[in-house]
Structure 1
């Protein structure tokens, strides 16, 4: 099945652009509840799976032994904007592992949050790997290595003992092999594995319910969901979709945006997982499509305040440089 229209961009009351993609909604057995587009075709999940990668950090007891806080566990699941609290939290995680920024193998880039980037520029020092949106995930892997007495050097290599543990967690969650045959390289130098969109949705249905996980992994998933719900700022940052959604819904919804228009969500109360992929890699389209889908799927559960938040996220106003409204990004067919 061809990809379908997920989102449209308007200007002057007309549709100016259209974003195509696909959506998979599954339960924790892997049954596809709703499939729109080619949901069995493989996609690279990119950063959407950070919470699954953090499962061994909690399940092994490393997080407790190192005294990691909810903020630090949330950052391990994050694609953050490089704001000061993100940078400081990543630094504390490294300190807990007895390491410094020099241990990070994610590379440095400017903060994606504009105000944070300006602050770094005004200091004249330039960004470090702590500003990388993936620094929390990498710090979490370094913590796992340190707790097990492993040399963290090369922790991004698929052959590293830490990498083998987190890859096993991905396989457990999605029921799909992760080998060199479906391996790619992510922007932060971590492996990323192409899997069916439906399998990605299944992984997050399981992450939400704990079913089809071992008892240890189910407990770890619950701990991570709780950490993210209590510290949603750490998962993304100021003005970001993920933070806005989870700040309102708490543990009722877990969501995570990834690069190239991949989005996932877990609805523990419904026992469902969602995965979205936009054809053109547009994150804005995945955001509005998820919000509109949540409005529909959770209608019996949502209060009027819940619905208001979701409606606002599914119809994002666009303004020009003078602050004047010029149109919107909205779920396709909702005009």
Structure 2
């Protein structure tokens, strides 16, 4: 904790109430660290920020074409979806096209992350389903390419499974980390999850934003398609009222967050990328932190910055709409010369 910095603070009635500590790393197209706040070597689990990269092998193998996935169905493979009706429609279509049953997914039966979709199901006394899990698109992608390649469908989440070995190869290649140096764990959905230094995660997002930096042509083509889909169908990646889809409305930005405070984004025109970790795991502070990063680097799309402040306003209001305090990003990005 000694290396962590205050990223954001929340005040109520002029009194400091909450502090969000963490780390930020920004890299340029040469892979060097150009911006920092805290420790750019902080090791963090990528959680769902890994999803675009976990989808890449399926695109390398031509799986979307094999099964005739629409662009929206392709995009949901990268998603932490909210199980809105249009998400569920795409997921059910994928199940049918792949020819697998919902019970072959290992992610748990759950209700949607969308409050409105969840409440509608509960009021209607409808059961939980596996495809309502926010990671189900990722799981369907792994099952699809496992089936296409002739891999066993059972055990598709095990680290030793060929599909997971391919994902690890992609993570290692794009992060510039050896397989042996990447720490692994099990994510909430049951698939392997990867822990890397923030600077290496930022490099992955730089290459997602700028695929021309990727030497292997098959990976470059797949990464280019994945990043295009995330922008073209931003509503599939989370939901229009959540940060990921909101940032992806900007065609210059490719972005994805994960559980427990990890967030990453790359800027195409500027050819830089950032990875940040909020150490208390908070997602609430993400928008105001990202808005401050964009302001500090002189980002020229004010509409994107304004959309971040709309998600986490500077003015803190209570449930009745009364102004009761403020949210503040308090870090300074240090630029390496």
Give the structure-2-normalised TM-score.
0.91
Counterpart in the other structure of 2:268: 268
Q: Give yes or no for the alignment of 1:239 onto 2:215.
A: no
Counterpart in the other structure of 1:296: 296
> Alpha carbons of 1:83 and 1:306: their partners in 2 closer, same or farther (altered >3 Å)?
closer
Counterpart in the other structure of 1:37: 38
> Alpha carbons of 1:116 and 1:317: their partners in 2 closer, same or farther (altered >3 Å)?
farther
3-state SS of the aligned residue for 1:194? strand
Counterpart in the other structure of 1:195: 196
Higher mean alpha-carbon deviation, 42-51 vs 279-288, is at: 279-288
Gaps of 5+ in 1: none
3-state SS of the aligned residue for 1:284? coil
Counterpart in the other structure of 1:162: 163
Counterpart in the other structure of 1:222: 224
3-state SS of the aligned residue for 2:107? coil
Counterpart in the other structure of 2:74: 73
- What CA deviation, in whole Å up to 9, does each residue of 1:168-219 have, x standing for no partner? 1111110113459711111001111211111100111111111134111111
1:27/1:272 contact within 8 Å kept: yes
Report the Cα distance in structure 1 between the residues aligned to 2:180 and 2:161, rounded to whole angstroms: 14
Counterpart in the other structure of 2:322: 324
Counterpart in the other structure of 2:313: 315
3-state SS of the aligned residue for 2:256? strand
> How far is the alpha carbon of 1:152 from its aligned partner?
1.5
CA RMSD of aligned residues (A): 2.0
Counterpart in the other structure of 2:129: 128
Give the structure-1-normalised TM-score.
0.92
Higher mean alpha-carbon deviation, 137-146 vs 213-222, is at: 213-222
Counterpart in the other structure of 1:284: 284
2:243/2:308 contact within 8 Å kept: no
Report the Cα distance in structure 1 between the residues aligned to 2:209 and 2:16, rounded to whole angstroms: 36
Counterpart in the other structure of 1:57: 58
Gaps of 5+ in 2: 333-337
> How far is the alpha carbon of 1:313 from its aligned partner?
4.5
1:142/1:152 contact within 8 Å kept: yes
> How far is the alpha carbon of 1:318 from its aligned partner?
4.1
2:182/2:195 contact within 8 Å kept: no
1:260/1:282 contact within 8 Å kept: yes
Higher mean alpha-carbon deviation, 287-296 vs 271-280, is at: 287-296
> How far is the alpha carbon of 1:315 from its aligned partner?
3.3
> Alpha carbons of 1:206 and 1:298: their partners in 2 closer, same or farther (altered >3 Å)?
farther
> Alpha carbons of 1:156 and 1:329: their partners in 2 closer, same or farther (altered >3 Å)?
farther
> Alpha carbons of 1:330 and 1:138: their partners in 2 closer, same or farther (altered >3 Å)?
farther
